[in-house]
Amino acid sequence: MFSRTENVQTFVRAYPLVTLFIVIQLLVFVIDSFAPGLRIVATGGSFHLALADGQWYRLVTANFIHLSLGHLLFNSFALIIFGPAMERMVGHVKFALFYVFAGALANLLTYFTVSNLFYLQAGASGAILAILGFYVFIGRFRRTLMYSQDARLVYIFVAISAVFTLIGSNVSLWGHVYGFLAGFLLAIPLSRFAVPYTRPMRYGKYKQRSYAPPVIHSGDGKWFFYIIIGLAIFGLLAQFL
């Protein structure tokens, strides 16, 4: 479920929304790095003073803006590992709506919790924690949708994320907490439409839906997985350098 052995072409074809979100955040970071005059962070980050002025679009745009290379790489790794299964289980449209809404909701609740008007929040962490919250819910209450070993992997990653949330510098504690809670609560209605990862062609119990063909797992894609792991480790260590 979380072992990525697809090659790049198969991954893009099977998980177009995960691919799109990763490409967007990579492009935003590259453009911001080479064209700082565009002030992408200043105009798109979840800056509380700007939110107080009514610039609510920042709740969404902030999810695709990262302040450091390490944060970008780690979030991209997490999205590549955990995003595909959910996109297949609930469908492309529902996954996209969930990802954007949960991330925006985490930013909004943080705005109402942190009174500092000069507080700035950016990054996909809230939305990614929401995906993990979704898995925790189905792992506990919709066990027919998820193997127990996959659920244990999610619990471990949530625990690791909690540790780094508490000890990491420049980490939005409330953004992570609210993202996870948003995903957990949204999973209550959304899980009714989810299907097991091994049955991507079914929609709930009754309806058929068109979907990407099942992913063909091939050893040709293992190098892709190893590169992802390497980038994630580099991204994680870079946050402490």
Structure tokens at 113: 């919790």
In 3D space, the residue among 104, 102, 94, 127 whose CA is nearest the CA of residue 21 turns out to be: 127
DSSP-derived secondary structure for the chain: -------HHHHHHH-HHHHHHHHHHHHHHHHHHH-GGG-HHHHHSEEHHHHHTT-TTHHHHGGG--SSHHHHHHHHHHHHHHHHHHHHHH-HHHHHHHHHHHHHHHHHHHHHH---TT-EE-SSHHHHHHHHHHHHHHHHH-GGGS-HHHHHHHHHHHHHHHHHHHHSTT--HHHHHHHHHHHHHHHHHHGGG---TT-TTEETTTEE---PPPP---GGGHHHHHHHHHHHHHHHHHTT-
Contact 24, 76 (CB under 8 A): no
148 is catalytic: no
- Of 76, 125, 161, 172, the catalytic one is 125
125 is catalytic: yes
- Of 48, 66, 71, 176, the catalytic one is 176
Task: Report the catalytic residues.
Answer: 125, 176
